[in-house]
Structure 1
């Protein structure tokens, strides 16, 4: 693996479960020499992506915070979506949350969350920056029909059991049929697949009606089950408005 790829691999070792690493442990995890590990770490420290901690260890650095602020202020999808999210929140039941999400590798990340102001502690599992499963929950499922066939085949080959358990089909043909139906409808509703007292409703965000950008979703209380079907078309219209704003930019 090229040196720059190794450097990125070092950065990926830093997780919530294991946020602190030494160069020696990096070398062990990546199966490289300790001198190489120190070189990769030094590059990341110089870039501000890692910073030294106690005992010769390292943690994520201040540049991560700087880049996060820049994303919050300048990301075109965030800038386009936030006014629309604020507008459609008023049509949701009390205690609802609106999510803006993107795919990242084989997971889904919430990149923004808007909570009903009358109930600011309406927590949901889709917290900003937390990797979530690709095959469970409306927020994730609605993205699947818009992936290239080669990616879907790879996902099915690697996660057939998860796909089956998520109600998306026993085999490849049933999986494709389920995705075709989602795409035809234009939105997905799931019932307490992620949080036991929550219903998810999601619509895709697309570029030129083709390339997947992410998803826009409501997460509403279980008690509002009868409300869910009317929110699907509203989300579809909101997603189209986001897409128009992006195109105008």
Structure 2
């Protein structure tokens, strides 16, 4: 491991594979010497990114909580979620979860959410959790909102990772772009439906989506039309809030 990679590779173990690691386990996972891992771990501990735990193990350090607090206070997209999402829940008229998500590499990440007290269902779109970009209304809306050139580049990357990118899927994205909204039934969580609109924050250079997640049994034709109208209107409000003309 060299340069920044030696720090990133170790920290990603805590994101992807487990919350507690010994130096020996890290060495095996990364296929590098324990002495190299130990030096890097020591530096990460000194900086607060890792801290010692019981039985010669390490866990993520408290500095990440400091970063999260700073992000909540300063990131315009996260702040807009605190301002606008709960009123959306109240307007929905049915139990729901509202998700504000953004492009994150070749995935989609929820940056803010809100839910009604009567919506007890577990949703996969949780704040800070990367999600696949080719499945579900929340993700498809983000992908459809990209420029054709950027979308094609991302789809080529996904295809290289083994994702099945068909002409039918490309046509679906183009239809979503033209319609400005997408509904998906049970594509991510069984029994749940997503309704989402693309969002483009030029000032942030961020592509995002705003979506309702509801029970499929609650999604009638009339309800769908109402949620469609609410989403389009509120997405425009949030875009103007972040990208004032």
Q: TM-score range by the shorter chain?
A: 0.7 to 0.9
Corresponding residue for residue 238 of structure 1 = 234
How far 1:127 moved relative to its partner?
A: 2.0
Deviations 1:44-71 (A, max 9, x none): 1122111111121101111111211222
Corresponding residue for residue 154 of structure 2 = 151
- Counterpart-to-counterpart distance in 2, 1:223 and 1:159: 34
How far 1:209 moved relative to its partner?
A: 9.7
Instruction: Judge conservation of contact 1:137–1:200 (CA < 8 Å) in 2.
Output: yes
Instruction: Judge conservation of contact 1:192–1:198 (CA < 8 Å) in 2.
Output: yes
Select 1:192's aligned residue among 179, 186, 189: 186
Corresponding residue for residue 63 of structure 2 = 63
Q: Secondary structure at the match of 1:110?
A: strand
Q: Secondary structure at the match of 2:226?
A: helix
Structure 2 unaligned regions, length at least 5 = none
1:247 maps onto 2:239 in alignment: no
Q: Normalising by structure 1, report the TM-score.
A: 0.86
Corresponding residue for residue 114 of structure 2 = 114
Corresponding residue for residue 132 of structure 1 = 131
- Counterpart-to-counterpart distance in 2, 1:88 and 1:128: 17
- Counterpart-to-counterpart distance in 2, 1:236 and 1:218: 11
Corresponding residue for residue 45 of structure 2 = 45
Corresponding residue for residue 168 of structure 1 = none
- Counterpart-to-counterpart distance in 2, 1:203 and 1:120: 21
Q: Secondary structure at the match of 2:92?
A: coil
Deviations 1:182-227 (A, max 9, x none): 1111111011222222110111221239954321110112222221
- Counterpart-to-counterpart distance in 2, 1:51 and 1:205: 39
Structure 1 unaligned regions, length at least 5 = 164-170
Corresponding residue for residue 176 of structure 1 = 170
Alpha-carbon RMSD across the aligned residues, in angstroms, is 2.3
Q: Secondary structure at the match of 1:218?
A: strand
The alpha-carbon distance between structure 1 residues 159 and 146, as it changes in their structure 2 partners (threshold 3 A), is farther
